[in-house]
Structure formats: C-alpha cells, structure tokens
C-alpha cells in the first residue's frame, strides 16, 4: 500500500486534514516540514501533506522555503481545514485549577484574546506542536494543566474539553498541499491553481513589476504572492506565487513563458484542482477561444 507522510505527531491539524482528504494509504508522521517533504523527495513516502498557508498567520515559511528549492517536488492537490481549537485538560480539572497552558505558537496567536478573557491568570508556554502539547498535558507529572490543540489529539489521549471552538477569528482556515515527486500534471478542471517560484536576475527598480506584468497582460489572477529570502545574501528575495488557472491554459502557459524570459529561474511546483472548486473567472481577451482566434489571425498574416 502507498504511504503518505504528514507533519506530525498524530493528532495535529495536518493529520486531520489528511484524513479529510481521504487518501487510501498508510499514514506516517514526521517531526518537521523539511523532514516531511524530504521523505517525499527521496521516495521514503509516496506523497506528503504539509500546511502552506493560514488565513490569519499567512504563509508557512518552512513549507515555502523548502518548496522554493524546487528539487523534485510537485503539488498535486490541496485541502483546506477550518481552524477550531479547544482547551483540553485531564479529567476532573476545573478552570480555576488551570495555571499553566501549553500549545503551539500559531495556536497561541489565534487564541490569545480568548485566553486573556477566560484564563487571565494562566501562564502560556509555546511548544513544538499542538498534538505534542496534548501528550504533555495527559501526563499528570508534566506540570502543565491544559493544552490548546485540535479535538482529534484530545480524543486520542482521553482529555476533557474545558472549552471548544476557541478562536479569536472564527473564520480562520489553514490550507494544506499534497506533494510528491514530479509526474504527469493532473488534467485541467476549470477550477485550478498553479504554484511557482520566480527568481529575479538582480534586485532593481521595476523587477517585481516585470514579473507581475507577465500575469496581468495575459489576464491571469494571482491569489497569493509572497517574497521569501533566497538565503544567499541579505536583501535577496524570490517570489512564491499562486496563479488562478492551469499549465494547459494558454494564458497561463504564455505567462510562464514570459517569466522564463525575464527571470533568472522559474520553479514550477504544479497545477492542481482548487480545494474550493471555484471556477476561474477569465477576463475578455484571455479565454482559450480568444487565444485560438489570435493565433489564426497571425497565421493568416504570415501566409
């Protein structure tokens, strides 16, 4: 049976997202995002699921930076998961007894206001993952009274809910991507996304504008654009991009050709179906028919 790696340990939101994705495979947790992606790159697992973006905290740096290296990895699918934390304790623990809370930094950032309002005297410690926090709190000798984590982690460890649905932003969503070694690009569905990384030749006035023009002039919308350090020298950045559309769409293909002409390097990370199924809105002049008509006109001029 195929094996899918994920950012562990068991009980993380990534684990829950993998279950929701419904892949028929064995699941294998890894301790960090780079380890998870390296397992897919090297063939230790057939694919890997990692978080890439959060609607509150933004891009996940470890995922963006590891993918930017572009060495033999492609995104084949995505899944989104509403972020709903809970405050979980050992059975019998009352709110008044909670003095020390353990959680992940992203979870703390998304529940800080709730903690101030409801557990103002509790000391919060940030750890490696929400699932690991649940494991620690399940141990009576740990010194921690409560964990802020996903329900799946608390259920596996027999913790009780002090509060559920805890989130300062009730609409928070995390996006995860399924990554594997390069293979045939999934067929276009009309509701697709293309992810890539663009490296400029030099840092100069208008460099980013030149990249953006490749998309704008061809009617390709960008749903995400983030600058990431190349880690070569201070002030040197690349751009991680999500574009609406598919590699097989003429407008997207032409945008990629334009990027290849003006950039030092372009890393193609995949075209795949959008998790929300929303079809791409194509402006006038950018449809496949518009491209075909224009090419027929040019051929007629050339005789």
d(CA 127, CA 80) in angstroms, rounded, equals: 24
Average pLDDT of 231-237?
79
Say what the pTM is.
Answer: 0.84
Q: Round to whole Å and give the CA distance between 3 and 26.
A: 5
Is the model's pLDDT at 235 over the cut of 80? no
Q: In what order do the strands lie in the sheet with 160-166?
A: 123-126, 100-103, 146-149, 85-89, 160-166
**Residues 243-272 pLDDT 10s:** 999 999 999 999 999 999 999 999 999 999
Residue 219's φ and ψ, nearest 5 degrees, are 70, 30
Q: Which residues pair with 227 in a beta bridge?
A: 239
Distances (CA, A) of 28 to 49, 60, 190: 10, 21, 32
Rounded to the nearest integer, the mean pLDDT of the chain is 90
Does position 71 have pLDDT exceeding 80, yes or no?
A: no
Q: Is the pLDDT of residue 88 over 80?
A: yes
Listed range (155-164, 229-238, 292-301) with the worst mean pLDDT: 229-238
Q: How many CB atoms lie within 10 A of CB 1?
A: 7
């Amino acid at each position: 049976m195929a094996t899918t790696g994920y950012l562990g340990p068991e009980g993380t939101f990534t684990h829950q997202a993998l279950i929701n994705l419904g892949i028929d495979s064995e699941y294998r947790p890894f301790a960090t995002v780079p380890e998870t992606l390296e397992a897919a790159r090297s063939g230790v697992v057939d694919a890997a699921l990692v978080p890439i973006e959060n609607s509150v905290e933004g891009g996940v740096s470890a995922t963006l930076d590891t993918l930017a290296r572009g060495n033999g990895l492609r995104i084949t699918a995505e899944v989104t998961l509403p972020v709903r934390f809970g405050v979980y304790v050992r059975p019998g623990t009352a709110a008044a007894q909670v003095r020390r809370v353990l959680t992940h930094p992203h979870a703390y950032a998304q529940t800080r206001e709730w903690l101030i309002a409801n557990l103002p005297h509790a000391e919060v410690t940030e750890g490696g993952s929400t699932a690991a926090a649940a494991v620690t709190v399940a141990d009576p000798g740990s010194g921690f009274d409560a964990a802020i984590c996903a329900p799946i982690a608390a259920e596996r460890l027999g913790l009780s809910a002090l509060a559920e649905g805890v989130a300062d932003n009730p609409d928070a969503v995390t996006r995860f991507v399924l990554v594997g070694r390069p293979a045939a690009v999934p067929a276009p569905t009309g509701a697709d996304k293309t992810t890539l990384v663009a490296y400029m030749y030099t840092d100069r006035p208008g460099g980013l504008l030149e990249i953006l023009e490749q998309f704008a002039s061809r009617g390709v919308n960008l749903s995400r654009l983030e600058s990431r350090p190349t880690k070569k020298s201070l002030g040197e950045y690349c751009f991680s991009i999500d574009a609406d559309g598919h590699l097989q769409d003429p407008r997207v293909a032409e945008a990629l050709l334009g990027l290849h002409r003006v950039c030092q390097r372009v890393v193609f990370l995949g075209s795949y179906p959008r998790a929300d199924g929303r079809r791409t809105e194509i402006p006038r002049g950018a449809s496949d028919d518009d491209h075909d008509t224009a090419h027929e006109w040019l051929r007629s001029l050339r005789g």
